Structures are given as C-alpha cells and as structure tokens.
Amino acid sequence: MRLSVALFVIALLLVSIGFSHGQGSEWSTKASMPTARTENAATAIENKIYVVGGFGANGQTLDKVEVYDVITDSWSIASPLPAALHHVAITSHAGKIYVIGGYFEGWGPSNRLYIYDPKTDSWTRGKDMPTARGALTAQFIDGILYAAGGQADRTLGTNEAYDPLTDTWKTKAPMPTPREHLASGVASGKMYVIGGRQGGLPSNMDINEEYDPKQDKWTRKAPMPSKRGGIVGASLQDTIFIYGGEANTGTFANNEQYFASNDTWIIRQPMPTARHGLAAVAVKNQIFVIGGGPRPGLTVSQANEVFAPREASQATPAPAPQPAPPPPPPPLAPVAPPPAPPQLQPPASVPEPRPQPQLPEPPPAPQQVPQPQPIPPIVPPPPQPAEVPKPDPQQAKAEPYPDNLTLGGIGVVVIIVAAIAVLRMRKR
C-alpha cells in the first residue's frame, strides 16, 4: 500500500514539474561575429545583416563593417565606415543603410549622416544632422527618417526628421522625456521610444512614448516591465521586442515584447547571454541579437543569438508584472502564485485536517481514533523556470514570464489532496 501511494505521488509531482517547465527554448546560437565588440549597431537588407562601429576589446573605436548572411550562416567584410564611431543610430530604407550620429574617438558627439549602398559597397555623406549627439535612436516611417533622443553636453529629447529625396532635415516635436541609451521600434506607422536613462546607470527608465509623425505628437504608453538603459529594440509582426541592458551591478538578459495594438507587454524567454550595448535585427520572422558587453562598462562579445518567437505566445499577449523599485537593476516583481496549500503537520501543532465531504466524521473521542502518522510537508517547486536564475550581484537578469505557473501550482494541490484521501482510506 505504501509503495502504491509513493508511486502515485511521484507521478503527480512529475506531471506538475513538466507543466511548469514550458515547451523548451526559443533561442539558438549562430556563427559568431568575427570581431568582438560593444556599443555596435546593426540593420538588415534582405537576408544580410550589417554590423557597424562600436568599441573593440581594447577600447578602440571601430570603423569595421561585418556582414552576416542569414541563409549561409557566414560572415564577410564590407567597406569600413568613413569615420570610426561608436554609439551610433542605424536604420535602412529602399536598399540603403543610414548611420546617424554617434561619438568619435574621444567621445566627441557626431552630427554626421553616412549612407551605404550595398550594390556598390560604397559610402556617401548625407546632409549633417542639425544636432550632434550619440546614444540616440532612429527609425524610418513612410520614407522619412526620425532621429530621437541621445546625449551631447546633456541628455536630449531632440527629434529631427530627414528626407532622403531632398537631403534635408526638419525639427519635429521633441520627445517629452529626454533620454539616451534608449531603444525604439515601429508599429502601425508610429514610432515607440522605450527605456533609456538620464546621466548614469542608476537612472534607468521604463518610459514608453509613442510618436505619431502624421500629427507630430507624442503620447505616453504602458511602461516597459523593467527599467533599463543600454538596450536595443527590434520590430517584428507589428510588435516590438526590447533586449538587454546595463546597471551598476550587472547586465540584463531581459526579452520583453510590446503589443502596440492593445498597449500591453509580455515577458519572453531571456537571452542566453546577458549584454548591454548590443544590436538586434529582425529577418525572416527571427530576431538576431549580436555583440554587446556581457558585463557593465567596457566588455565585448562575438555573440550571435537568434530568437524565434512562437506564434501562440504572440497571439495571446498578457500584461507583464511591474518591476521592483530601485536600487538597480530593478528586478521584475513575480507574478503572484496560487494560494499555498495547507501543509500537513503532527496533531500536536496543527489541528487535524477537515475531512472531505464524502468521508464520515470520525468519532469525537480522540482516544478511540488512531492518530495519523506525521507527514513531512511537501514543498512546491519554485515558480520560475529552472533554467533562468534570479538576479545576483554578478549578473542582473529579470525572471522570465512564468508560463504554466498556474498548472504547476494545481499539480502540487492535487498531490496533497490525494495524500489526504489515502490517509482517510487507511483509517477506515
């Protein structure tokens, strides 16, 4: 009898653990980038990703341009940038690549606009941006390039628009919240500028502001689940993914997805390698996350990790939990677990559990009823997936969204109810 009970309890426990662990990883690793770097930028044209600039391992500012072929999983070299730059913004349009702003060697802010044509493997210089700045973000919407935020002698909310047909710039409504080391994405013809900071790692932000170019107007939207700067964004299927980040105590592996259609966030599986100052590019329904520093400050990597989101998760967004307040890195507040089941203890410390409705009430005289043997409490498994540790002083990671957490909790409750039923049957 005892053996049967033990086997039954073990089987239920394995089922509950299986539910709580989800369906496997959505991440894979591809060919490493030839040059380890951080504060690099990247964009794609068709099936090729172009990675430009950044810092090298010794802190030197790079002009290197390396090209990753998504089809062959291989790298090649393109013509270098006309000037070595780091912290640039980058985007592409009509078969050409636009590199905006950044910092020169020595941290002097740049106002330059460089345009690359992959057909001729050559660079030209467009009209200079009105405001020199680095650590900014840029996107094309309806053929116009919008460059927002950044830093020069101070943190900026500047928003300037470039028309490649006329090679001219115009000043647009400034971003309500000045920020640098921020990220952006495009959904439904609008630009969403997310996260960033104001003058140092402790000032990481969760702000999400929407820019409508048709109305030249900004609107505050649902904040990102975590406060992060040193991040990157990628747009896929009219949603926006935000990766990585940096705080005083470590780097982030966070992967959070924003649905502009209903102004909600969900938390996706974290990156295998936590990084800041990285690049992210969407190609063929996948997002390639490349380079970046695995630790705060000047560290570099050759990482090339690919996220392939599952359609089911994209189709059913759910609000994400809010992060805990500073000090950084701000961990995500865990989703509230189901109520903890009562633990069975010896009768001396806890009253005998209430009988189930289908069982008769035991006789009132305690001396005539044999007391159940003490049963050690069953400790439920941790709610978070085992493969994602909580943040520690060496690496600040937010917990992934706990898919199937409720099912795991139900499994534990079923185990305890079954154990109580078996005990009642033995008493009879």
Tell me the C-alpha distance between 426 and 428, whole Å. Answer: 5
Question: In angstroms, what CA-CA distances link 369 with 53, 350, 420?
Answer: 79, 17, 16
The predicted pLDDT at position 24 comes to 72
Quick check: 308 pLDDT over 70? yes
Mean pLDDT of all residues in 20-37: 83
Mean pLDDT of all residues in 125-136: 98
pLDDT tens column, 82-128: 999 999 999 999 999 999 999 999 999 999 999 999 999 999 999 99
Q: Which among 98, 62, 73, 35 has a CA at the least distance from the CA of 300?
A: 35
Q: Is residue 271 part of a domain?
A: yes
Supply 93's token pair.
């349009």
Confidence of residue 51 (pLDDT cuts 50, 70, 90): very high
Q: Is residue 425 part of a domain?
A: no
The total domain count for the chain is: 1
Quick check: 369 pLDDT over 60? no
Helix 405-427 and helix 2-20: axis angle, to 10°? 170
Supply 157's token pair.
């909310």
Q: Is residue 377 part of a domain?
A: no
* This prediction's pTM: 0.71
Q: Is residue 421 part of a domain?
A: no
pLDDT tens column, 248-298: 999 999 999 999 999 999 999 999 999 999 999 999 999 999 999 999 999
Residue 306 near residue 272, CB atoms below 8 Å: no
Spatial CB neighbours of 201, under 8 Å, sequence gap ≥ 6: 229, 246, 247, 248, 296, 328
CATH of the domain at 126: 2.120.10.80
In this structure, the dihedral spanned by the alpha carbons of residues 392, 182, 142 and 123, taken in order and rounded to 10 degrees, is -100
Backbone angles phi, psi at 95, to 5 degrees: 80, 10
Confidence of residue 176 (pLDDT cuts 50, 70, 90): very high
Supply 424's token pair.
């009642």
Mean pLDDT of all residues in 366-382: 38
Q: Is 407 helix (H, G, I), strand (E, B) or coil?
A: helix
Q: Is residue 101 part of a domain?
A: yes
Supply 136's token pair.
């900014």
Indicate the residue type of 214: K
| pLDDT averaged over every residue in the chain | 79
Q: Is residue 157 part of a domain?
A: yes
The predicted pLDDT at position 175 comes to 98
Q: Is residue 406 part of a domain?
A: no
The predicted pLDDT at position 420 comes to 67
pLDDT tens column, 320-364: 433 434 344 444 444 344 344 334 333 333 334 343 434 334 444
Neighbouring-strand partners of residue 236: 239
The predicted pLDDT at position 199 comes to 85
Produce one character per residue of 9-18: b if its CB has 16 or more CB atoms within 10 Å, e if not.
beebbebbee
Domain span at 200:
27-315
Spatial CB neighbours of 233, under 8 Å, sequence gap ≥ 6: 137, 183, 184, 185, 192, 194, 240, 241, 242, 243, 280
pLDDT tens column, 200-258: 899 999 999 999 999 999 999 999 999 999 999 999 999 999 999 999 999 999 999 99
Tell me the C-alpha distance between 292 and 253, whole Å. Answer: 11
Quick check: 61 pLDDT over 80? yes
Confidence of residue 400 (pLDDT cuts 50, 70, 90): very low
Residue 56 near residue 62, CB atoms below 8 Å: yes
Q: Is residue 352 part of a domain?
A: no
